[in-house]
Amino acid sequence: MRIALVNVPHPAIGSRIPDEHLPPLGLLCVGGPLIDDGHDVRLFDGEFGPVPLATLAAEIAAFAADAVLFGHSGSSSAQPIISAVAAMIRPNLPNATIVYGGVHPTYHWRDILAADPNVDVIVRGEGEATGTALFAALGAQAPIDTIRGLAFRDADGRAIATPPAAAIADLDAHRIGWELIDHSRYSYWGGKRAVVIQFSRGCPHLCNYCGQRGFWTRWRHRDPQKLAAEIAHLHRNHGVEVFNFADENPSAGRKPWKAFLEALIAENISVTLVGSTRADDIVRDADILHLYKKAGFERFLMGMENTDEATLKLIRKGGTVAADREAIRLLRQHNILSMATWVAGFSDQSDRDLWHGLRQLIDYDPDQIQALYVTPHRWTPFFSLARD
């Protein structure tokens, strides 16, 4: 089959930075197994420019795809853009199967199938194994109702879903389709050639505003040596200098994380690594932070969420103000930048509360601050507290 993987332009912040752009890892993860199954796969990345929607739709139609697969890291805000592009390509590809995957459609499959007649199938959860099974069935014109992890309309037009697919036990079983991108077009950290990578999926913690645990089901990690070798290959063969870790919590398991750092150091390459982790993991790893730096880490975003202990308890963050402050101090001691997140909207907040939070956050003295407003996603426990 001819399969178009589509990354639509993001309507808000996301992977696009002025003059720089990171590749859509999720689509590459799905694309690698499809290539290995013999499909003709092409990535259409609308983030460059960004590409006008009509132009993007025309390029997909010119490819004469048998199937079009939409996926997006910021899938809630990208939803209306995906629907618009699907409507544009449908007249030119009336027989193509339009598939949609990601976090938002995983949980909102009923709404999407009810509102968008152009979306035929939704992949719920991880897409590598489910995608290969789906496109194998479509190529053979076989039924898809026995494939786990799908949602679609039955013969009567009703939206139905198959049972959830099991979490992928071996994250190295499906390769990333790096050949789908031109590495020279993707950059970060001041124009350096860059990609997005993952050591792990999921998070063992139970923050009530976060849907990652529900989507990924459990924390798993790649083989430390294999990932280190893949990073070294991308650096030596494709000139990649910057690796942005997409993990929610890559350091959740100290033993495999330390093994990865040591394996990457052994590759003897000079790369820049940036990622996110928890402040309490940084404090836990105080004795091996020199390995973080030696491996190449230059910055960590730490999800501190709030400077108020009562709020941290409300949202089941599991962290403490003391650990947050100590993590920033330890990172600075090892010449690693700290980016602290601070999130408003967890509870009723007065101007006085916000002023107090700002003063506390500045007192932490992080190198960078990312201020956000909490989104009450319907699939999170926090939604029940915030829905009114």
Give the pLDDT score at 307: 59
Give the pLDDT score at 360: 85
Which residues have a Cβ under 8 Å from the Cβ of 350 and sit 6 or more positions away?
Answer: none
Predicted TM-score of the model (pTM):
0.93
Contact in structure between 111 and 79 (CB atoms under 8 Å): no
Task: Give the count of beta carbons closer than 10 Å to the beta carbon of residue 207.
Answer: 22
Q: Which helix (H) or strand (E) holds 297?
A: strand 297-302
Residue 156: Cβ-neighbour burial (10 angstroms; 0-12, 13-18, 19+): exposed
Torsion of CA 72, 74, 78, 82, to 10 degrees: 10
Q: Which of 105, 68, 103 is nearest to 88 (CA)?
A: 68
Render each residue's pLDDT in the chain as its tens digit; 388 residues: 999 999 999 876 655 567 788 999 999 999 999 999 999 999 999 998 889 999 999 999 999 999 999 998 777 888 999 999 999 999 999 999 999 999 999 999 999 999 999 999 999 999 999 999 999 999 999 999 999 999 999 999 999 999 999 999 999 999 999 999 999 999 999 999 999 999 999 888 877 887 777 788 789 999 999 999 999 999 999 999 999 999 989 999 999 999 999 999 999 999 999 999 999 999 999 999 999 999 999 999 997 765 566 666 665 555 567 888 999 999 999 999 999 988 888 877 888 888 888 888 888 999 999 888 888 888 888 888 888 8
What is the rounded distance in angstroms from the CA atom of residue 316 to the CA atom of residue 386? 15
CA 158 to chain centre: 30
Percentages of the chain per state (helix, strand, coil), in multiples of 5: 40, 20, 40
| Three-state secondary structure call for residue 4 | strand
Structure tokens at 360: 């506390």
